[in-house]
Amino acid sequence: MWKKVYEWLDERLGLNDMYTNLLDRPEPTGNWWNTLGSASMFLFVMQGLTGIFLTVYYTPSPDHAYDSVQYIMEGVAFGWLIRGIHHWGATLMVIVVFIHLLRVFVTASFKFPRELTWLIGIGLFLATLGMGFTGYLLPWNQKAYWATTVGTQIAGSVPFIGEFILKVLRGGPELSALTLQRFFSAHIWMLPAVLAGLMGIHLYLIIKHGESHFPTKED
Amino acid sequence: MSGSNEISRRDFIKVTTGIVGGLIGVAIGLPSISYLIDPALREGGKDAWLSIGKFEDMQIGTPYPFSFTRVQVNGWERTSSSFGGYAIRKSDAPTDILILNSRCTHLACTVNWHAESDAFLCPCHDARFSKDGKVLDGPPPRPLDVYDEFRLSEDGHIEIFFKAG
């Protein structure tokens, strides 16, 4: 019965082909360093899911942001768990993505024909840092407020256009409700969209070219 | 795997991945559902017995004004609402009290007792209610609401039963 259902679906969706090409594709004799990309993607999905759940209670307004986070931590069943995963997952994701980047660099996997995979990977790393930067403000506590004050000031130290960049980031000369709202928007819409799009191309390129061999002593 | 009972390395990895993934899914999925439906599992506003004043302070035949505030907490937000009314003793018996809600039944303004005209007057649309809450004049569609559940507490206070919502 299930076999028939599966065959019906397979004829139309090509499930077997997908399985062979996506999951059963040939890999170089690898080691655990090769799993960091998958680990990054897992963390991205995890952050996405817990982030979606957090928006059920979180309010991006200076009046309510702090209180709503307190409510998530103390008032809602398992709110501490959802936020805890999102909080620690964020730190872990930055670390894992960075080690992934280092691995690719050290094993010289960025060379032909994988230059674009590497460049897009750099974009993914920067977007991940952007997620960390924008997410840090959202609890709207003292640490978040001053970290963002300093962070945007650093961006403002760029010669000539620094002040303009600072105003764009803050939505004005000062940290305000506008800052919180636009960081929220960047955190839950813009950067995730960028990440998802770049990840799609990144994965396509990996499946197209396969993974690179680890360099041997002769290399 | 052909015919042998030994499980291949590849199948072992598949099964282990499935089991561990399933466990992680359950460990996070179930709390997530609980997280989502949590507000629905909470009790709504709390019903309570509230004191409106000492029985001995209420004089027979004279409306005795009282007021109280209730605070409703919804997540991180607190809403406080004020309520008020008049208790009118009709005889010595502590059960023989008419307790009126001072919320006008027209558009919810607060009515005031006006001794000279022997009526409750509403400032908004000049409605008038008699001492027992009946509409004498003006637009209200029905008499003043009545707190009909009340009791005399041990320390001599009249308490009304307040239903939230």
| pTM higher than the cut 0.90 | no
pLDDT of A125: 98
Looking at CA atoms only, how far is residue B67 from chain A in angstroms? Answer: 30
The distance of B121 to chain A (nearest Cα, Å) reads: 39
SS3 content of chain B, % helix, strand, coil (to 5): 20, 35, 40
Q: Does B38 touch chain A (CB under 8 A)?
A: yes
From residue B30, alpha-carbon distances to A79, B16, B22, B25, B156 in Å are 12, 21, 12, 8, 51
Residue-wise pLDDT tens digits, A60-110: 999 999 999 999 999 999 999 999 999 999 999 999 999 999 999 999 899
Report yes or no: B28 at the A interface, CB cutoff 8 Å: yes
Q: With an 8 Å Cβ cutoff, is B43 touching chain A?
A: no
Do the beta carbons of residue A83 and residue A54 sit within 8 Å? yes
Contact between B77 and A82 using a beta-carbon 8 Å cutoff: no
Backbone angles phi, psi at B26, to 5 degrees: -65, -45
CATH class, range B48-162: mainly beta
Could you give the domains of chain A? 38-209 (1.20.810.10)
Q: Which tokens in the block code for residue B130?
A: 């008699």
Residue labelled with tokens 């309510």: A64
pLDDT of residue B43: 74
Q: Chain A residue with minimal CA distance to B10?
A: A24
Number of CB atoms found within 10 A of residue B143's CB: 14
Of B77, B81, B74, B38, nearest to A61 (Cα)? B77
Check pLDDT > 90 for residue A26: no
Complete edge-to-edge strand list for the sheet that includes strand B157-162: B48-54, B157-162, B150-152
> Is A80 touching B (CB cutoff 8 A)?
no
Q: How far is residue B48's CA from residue A21's CA, in Å, rounded to a whole number?
A: 66
C-alpha A170, offset from chain centre? 22
Q: Of B55, B74, B46, which Cα lies nearest the Cα of B161?
A: B46
For residue A48, report the phi and psi dihedrals to the nearest 5 degrees. Answer: -60, -50
Q: Are A59 and A65 in contact (CB under 8 A)?
A: yes
Query: Could you give the CA distance from residue B142 to residue A42 in angstroms, rounded to a whole number?
Result: 63
Q: Could you tell me how far CA A148 lies from the centroid of its own chain?
A: 19
Contacts of B18 in chain A (CB under 8 A): none
A67–B76: do the CB atoms touch at under 8 Å?
yes
Residues of B in Cβ contact (< 8 Å) with A70:
76
Q: Which two tokens stand for residue A148?
A: 């963002």
pLDDT by residue (tens digit) across A169-202? Answer: 999 999 999 999 999 999 999 999 999 999 999 9
Nearest partner of A25 among A216, A213, A206, A200, judged by Cα = A206
Say if the Cβ atoms of A59 and B28 lie within 8 Å.
no
Q: How far apart are CA B13 and CA A174, in angstroms?
A: 54
- Looking at residue B1, its pLDDT comes to 45
pLDDT score recorded for residue B165: 56
Q: What burial letters (b/e) apply to A93-122, b meaning 16+ CB within 10 Å? A: bbebbeebbebbeebebbeeebeebbebbe
8 A C-beta contact, residue A109 and residue A212: yes
- Could you list the pLDDT tens digit for every one of the 165 residues in chain B? 455 678 898 899 999 999 999 999 999 999 999 999 998 888 766 778 888 888 888 888 889 999 988 888 888 888 888 889 999 988 888 888 899 999 999 998 999 999 888 999 999 999 999 988 999 989 999 999 998 888 888 888 889 888 765
| A145-161 tens-digit pLDDT | 999 999 999 999 999 99
Are the beta carbons of B77 and A53 separated by less than 8 Å? no
Q: What is the mean pLDDT of residues A13-30?
A: 84
Query: Is the CB of residue B33 less than 8 Å away from at least one CB of chain A?
Result: no
Say if the Cβ atoms of A71 and B76 lie within 8 Å. yes
A137 interface with B at CB cutoff 8 Å: no
Res A196: pLDDT: 97
The predicted pLDDT at position B74 comes to 83
